[in-house]
Amino acid sequence: MSTFLISFFAFVAVMLIMLLLYGVWFHFFDRSKKLKKQRLQVIQNAFNPAGQNISNVQESALETWLRSHSRRFEQLENLLIIAHGPLTAGSLMGLMFALLTVVVVLGLLRQINPLLLFVLAVIIASTPVLWLSRQANHRRQAFGDKLPETLDYISRAMRAGHSLTSAIGMVGKEFADPIGPEFKIVFDEIAFGIPFKDTLDHLSDRVQSFDLNFFVIALMIHHETGGNLTELLDGLANTMRERIKLRGKIRTLSAEGRASAWVLGCMPFVIAGMLTLVNPRYMSVLWTTSQGQTLILIGGGLMAVGFFLLNRITQIKV
């Protein structure tokens, strides 16, 4: 690799790091930014105590352009909404690009195989998205586990004489995250005059839970045709509880397969680490020679295929 390319990538990496440091300073330590956030926080506490942070509404022209021209950018925004991530989609893309550039520069300086360097750079740059996906799955699962109790609460409130909108507002006040804030947003949107069907669509898009879709569809059908909503909610809650029990049984029965996947996946790294501590020269062939780096690529590819197959075997939809 030529010295010019190495110098260019090193310059880009340094500039990205400086921009990242400036962004951190501007976001956390700039006095005008602090005052603006304090004013927005006062407004939020007064009008939207349980909703999303309205300081995240501000966006750049670049983010607006990407939203209108890129489907991936919209998916990234939806992932941040579901996971309640602390960054905006534009900041997340900047972080991923900075990680990608730093890894490429370090790999070029160490003269790593280009294909191996590309794979490592993509994996490390994708780490924030993988973490957000994991957070979104945890939040979605927590929402689904508490949803039957929420339906029972709405049903009891309606039997006590409250309307559906009032019951949704009570859920927003009484329940903790993630159920409470999401239903509080629904209640606020209804209060602002947004059509009931649209508020349910927004809730379904924010959470993206399979169990919640049953609830949304049931409310939409009831809103169109009428009927006994309390009995419908009771039956839906019982169905969700049975599905949760069945998922727990399946997870217990598939625990051995998941444990095998973790053991088989971690074993090569553990053995490589032990051999590196015992005899570094013996293991250095994998990192310093092209044949060793090719073996790493082949082994990593086979492990990825094995993880995918084990995951497909142990993931049973209910």
Q: What is the pLDDT of residues 284-296, one digit of tens each?
A: 888 778 888 888 8
The mean pLDDT value for 142-170 works out to: 90
> Are residues 120 and 17 both part of a single domain?
yes
* Phi and psi at residue 280, to the nearest 5°: -60, -35
Tell me, what's the pLDDT at 36? 59
Of 5-9, 204-208, 232-236, which range is least confident?
5-9
Statement: residue 56 has pLDDT above 70: no
The mean pLDDT value for 13-28 works out to: 64
> Are residues 164 and 235 both part of a single domain?
yes
Statement: residue 148 has pLDDT above 60: yes
> Are residues 200 and 259 both part of a single domain?
no
> Residue 273: inside a domain, yes or no?
yes
Statement: residue 52 has pLDDT above 70: no
**What confidence tier does 208 reach under pLDDT thresholds 50, 70, 90?**
confident
Task: Name the token pair of 302.
Answer: 């086979």
Euclidean distance between CA atoms 170 and 258, whole angstroms: 40
> Residue 240: inside a domain, yes or no?
yes
> Residue 8: inside a domain, yes or no?
yes
The mean pLDDT value for 205-221 works out to: 86
* Phi and psi at residue 287, to the nearest 5°: -95, -25
> Peptide bond before 178: cis, by omega within 30 degrees of 0?
yes
Statement: residue 20 has pLDDT above 80: no
Euclidean distance between CA atoms 99 and 94, whole angstroms: 9
Tell me, what's the pLDDT at 153? 92
- What's the burial of 121, exposed, middle or buried (CB within 10 Å: 0-12/13-18/19+)? buried
H or E element: which one contains 312? helix 290-314
Helix 71-83 and helix 89-110, axial crossing angle in degrees, nearest 10: 110
Number of H helices and number of E strands within the chain? Answer: 15, 0
Instruction: Tally the domains of the chain.
Output: 3
> Are residues 243 and 265 both part of a single domain?
no
**What confidence tier does 149 reach under pLDDT thresholds 50, 70, 90?**
very high
**What confidence tier does 33 reach under pLDDT thresholds 50, 70, 90?**
low
**Among 206, 221, 252, which residue terminates a domain?**
252
**Among 252, 276, 294, which residue terminates a domain?**
252
What is the residue whose two structure tokens read 């939020």?
Answer: 44
Q: Which residues contact 63 (CB under 8 A, 6 or more apart)?
A: 73, 88, 89, 90
Of 70-74, 191-195, 226-230, 277-281, which range is least confident?
70-74
Statement: residue 90 has pLDDT above 80: no
Statement: residue 169 has pLDDT above 60: yes
> Are residues 144 and 193 both part of a single domain?
yes
If one compares 240 and 4, the residue with the highest pLDDT of the two is 240
pLDDT digits (tens, 9 = 90+) for 114-134: 777 888 888 888 888 888 888
Q: What is the CATH number of the domain that holds 153?
A: 1.20.81
> Residue 152: inside a domain, yes or no?
yes
**What confidence tier does 303 reach under pLDDT thresholds 50, 70, 90?**
confident
Q: Within the chain, where are the H helices?
A: 3-28, 31-47, 61-69, 71-83, 89-110, 114-125, 127-159, 164-174, 179-191, 196-207, 210-225, 229-253, 255-278, 280-288, 290-314
Q: What distance lies between CA 69 and its chain's CA centroid?
A: 22
Greatest Cα pair distance in the chain: 77
> Residue 50: inside a domain, yes or no?
no
**Among 217, 233, 252, which residue terminates a domain?**
252
Task: Name the token pair of 40.
Answer: 């927005």
Q: Which domain holds residue 260?
A: 254-314
Statement: residue 305 has pLDDT above 60: yes
If one compares 85 and 102, the residue with the highest pLDDT of the two is 102
Tell me, what's the pLDDT at 24? 59
> Are residues 245 and 261 both part of a single domain?
no
> Residue 45: inside a domain, yes or no?
no
Tell me, what's the pLDDT at 312? 79
Euclidean distance between CA atoms 117 and 1, whole angstroms: 13
